[in-house]
Amino acid sequence: MIIVMKADVQPDSDEIRRVIALAESYPEIQTQVHHIRGASRTVTEIYLIGQTGVIPTTPFEEFASVEKVVRVTEKYRTIGRHEGSHESVGFEYNGVEITQDNLTLFPGLCAVDSKQNVETMFQVLAEHGLETARAGAYKPRTSPYDFQGHGAACLPMVFELAGKHGIRIVAMEVTHETHLEEIDSALEAAGRPTGVMLQIGTRNAQNFELLKAVGQQQEYPVLFKRGMGITLEESLNAAEYVASAGNHRLVFCLRGMKTNYGDPHRNFVDFTHVPVVKRQTRLPVCIDPSHSVGRRSVATDGVLDIFHATAQGVVAGANLVLVDFHPRPEEALCDGPQALLMNELPHFLEDVAIARRAYEERLKLRDRLGVH
Ligand code: PEP
Ligand code: MN
């Protein structure tokens, strides 16, 4: 059961203490207090944990400070949508709003290589009005002999260049909890010229200790990538680890499933799950067409498969797109063959805008003709 407090109720108020005292007066019931920072307001939610089926909702609903009482299913207690009556967990970070209703693009380098390539990337993105980018410093690789990322050593350069070009958020994978500290120190030393969204890669989707570590800090939002070889339900449970540890600034990212049934693509593109994840959770949903498709194949209509996959996700309501670009893919130390080229960026941006308009038109059509 979740008691949702009214938006103006202060986190440390007597009202909240009284609701908690009532909740804990029921046998074997424990409480957890979560402050949900939505896109437009912060709401306090009190979670009742234990056998809540027998607890009546009315005594809680009678508090003037309580907005509503939601009975939750056991599943996805924090990120779940339950009864459809729950706020979505959008957030604002470093001046960028990320919600279940809007669309933000994160083009960039799969892996940071040279300073020159990072500079070109951020500069070109800024020229196109973008303020969010990807840039991987820590790379989980299949072979120990492959490039593992420049790690902490490249962070000062990446953060300085991001700040110089007005990039507000850099999405960056972490593979160990010590990376949080390294990122935080480097950002602090640089004067926090940009923000970081911590990416959990598909290989770490069930690294529960890492999930708890990124969940226990509140400074940085988290982009959680679904596990490539586990069910959606298992991935959603894993994302719940982050939110249940206290960090609600969380995005769920679809990036394809590992199976030969997806051949010739690198992974089986799973963007039909965009509306499923939006229905089952309150989280903004990201798509990663680069790691799903994994190649620069061009369809017979002359459009790259990566563009087609992106459009499919966006037309279904995706909220973020994480996509690999590279100024010189032949120099890339990771995933060069799937990178889009900088001169393809204007085409990509317009193509995405068309797909987004199509999604918005579809919502208007739903209002006009939809039967529910
Ligand atoms: C990445 O985005 O750089 C990456 C490694 O993706 P994934 O974890 O989805 O393979
Ligand atoms: Mn990659």
**HEC string for the chain:** CEEEECCCCCCCCHHHHHHHHHHHCCCCCEEEEEEEECCCCEEEEEEEECCCCCCCCHHHHCCCCEEEEECCCCCCCCCECCCCCCCCCCEEECCEEECCCCCEEEEEECCCCCHHHHHHHHHHHHHCCCCEEEECCCCCCCCCCCCCCCHHHHHHHHHHHHHHCCCCEEEEECCCCHHHHHHHHHHHHCCCCCEEEEEECHHHCCCHHHHHHHHHCCCCCEEEECCCCCCHHHHHHHHHHHHHCCCCCEEEEECCECCHHHCCCCCECCHHHHHHHHHHECCCEEECHHHHHCCCCECCCCCEHHHHHHHHHHHCCCCEEEEEEECCHHHCCCCHHHCEEHHHHHHHHHHHHHHHHHHHHHHHHHHHHCCC
Any idea which ligand is nearest the CA of 289? 1
Q: From the CA of 170, how far away is ligand 2's center (Å)?
A: 15
Which portions of the chain are predicted below pLDDT 70?
A: 37-40, 74, 84-87
Neighbour tally for 163: CB within 10 Å? 17
Q: From the CA of 316, how far away is ligand 2's center (Å)?
A: 24
Q: From the CA of 110, how far away is ligand 2's center (Å)?
A: 5
Pair 67, 5: CB distance under 8 Å? yes
Taking a 5 Å cut-off on Cβ, the residues next to ion ligand 2 are 110, 335
* CB of residue 323 inside a 6 A radius of ligand 1: no
Tell the residue nearest (CA) to atom 3 of ligand 1.
110
Distance CA 214, CA 218 (A): 8
Distance CA 308, CA 321 (A): 13
The amino acid at 121: M
pLDDT given for residue 74 in this prediction: 65
Q: Is the pTM of this model over 0.75?
A: yes
* CB of residue 173 inside a 6 A radius of ligand 1: yes
Any idea which ligand is nearest the CA of 197? 1
Q: From the CA of 349, how far away is ligand 1's center (Å)?
A: 22
pLDDT given for residue 272 in this prediction: 97
Q: From the CA of 148, how far away is ligand 2's center (Å)?
A: 11
Task: Using only the alpha carbons of the chain, give its radius of gyration.
Answer: 21
* CB of residue 227 inside a 6 A radius of ligand 1: no
Any idea which ligand is nearest the CA of 135? 1
pLDDT given for residue 72 in this prediction: 79
Rounded to whole angstroms, what are the CA distances from 11 to 5, 33, 249? 9, 9, 18
Tell the residue nearest (CA) to atom 6 of ligand 1.
201
Distance CA 89, CA 79 (A): 8
pLDDT given for residue 110 in this prediction: 98
Neighbour tally for 353: CB within 10 Å? 12
Task: Kindly give, in sequence order, each residue whose CB lies less than 8 Å from that of residue 242, ignoring residues fewer than 6 positions away.
Answer: 200, 211, 212, 214, 215, 222, 224, 250
- Written as six digits, the tokens of 243 are 């939110």
pLDDT given for residue 315 in this prediction: 98
Q: Regarding beta strands 66-70 and 2-5, do their DSSP bridges make them parallel or antiparallel, or are they unpaired? A: antiparallel
Any idea which ligand is nearest the CA of 332? 2
* CB of residue 110 inside a 6 A radius of ligand 1: yes
Distance CA 208, CA 215 (A): 10
* CB of residue 225 inside a 6 A radius of ligand 1: yes
Residue whose tokens read 């009546």 = 56
Of 199, 223, 325, the one to substitute when testing ligand 1's pocket (max ligand atoms within 8 A of C-beta) is 199
Pair 249, 222: CB distance under 8 Å? yes
Distance CA 93, CA 221 (A): 8
Please state the separation of Cα 34 from the chain's center in Å.
19
Closest ligand 1 atom number to CA of residue 253: 9
pLDDT given for residue 162 in this prediction: 98
Neighbour tally for 370: CB within 10 Å? 10
* CB of residue 265 inside a 6 A radius of ligand 1: no
Closest ligand 1 atom number to CA of residue 136: 3
- Written as six digits, the tokens of 184 are 């935080």
Distance CA 23, CA 29 (A): 7
